Structure 1
Amino acid sequence: MKITFCSSTSEVITEIGRRVKETRLAVPLTQHDLAKLTNLSQRTISSLENGNDVSFSTIIEVLRALGRLQSLEIMIPEQGIRPSQIAELGKPRERARPKKQVQGEWKWGDEK
């Protein structure tokens, strides 16, 4: 299954579990071996592979043990500086600030 914007959370979790299981079998490792490598219980590994909700730190440990932690770099790449940012600001943006309200500007609910 391809994970898309329209995939439900449970579908995504199930698909991640399926992919982790395929990767574990390709290595090859048993659930018991993977549990030892990650200091997690075999039950936690089984839960992940069966599509049950587990913590993100569990997924990180499993990916690390399977040699796939770099996959997170693809999933959430570091944001580079856009040329337009340099031209507009002269430096990379560090945080977003709310726009200041112009004095005298009317907003709904301000009427008295």
Structure 2
Amino acid sequence: MDSDRVSALIGQRVRQYRLNQDLTQEDLATLANVSLNAVKSAEGGKSTLPTYVAILQALGHIDNLLAAFPDEGVSP
């Protein structure tokens, strides 16, 4: 899967998380302490990692992001 497709899927999931919580984009922007344009960009799959972190924290889904980077411990 190419990076554009992955970005689009992440944006779709952020949008679905927001809608499942019955939040407007404006509500989410306020909760995440980001701009409305930042939320719109994130849902469009065009954002930065710090913005996704803020949004996922606000939505209570930060564990989903952290699951992509499991702690493998120290390799000998």
Is TM (by shorter chain) over 0.5? yes
More helix by share: 2
Q: Would you say 1:61 and 2:49 are equivalent positions? A: no
Match of 2:35 in 1: 41
Structure 1 unmatched runs, 5+: 1-6, 82-91, 94-112
1:1-112 mapped onto 2 (5 Å cutoff): 7-52=1-46, 54-80=47-73, 93=76
Structure 2 unmatched runs, 5+: none
Q: TM-score, normalised by structure 1?
A: 0.63
Alpha-carbon distance, 1:80 to partner: 3.4
- RMSD (Å), alpha carbons: 1.3
CA distance in 2, matches of 1:63, 1:34: 10
**Post-superposition, which runs of at least 4 consecutive aligned residues in structure 1 deviate over 2 A?**
none
Greater Rg, structure 1 or structure 2? 1
One-letter amino acid of the counterpart of residue 22, structure 2? P
Structure 1 vs Structure 2: percent identity of aligned residues?
36
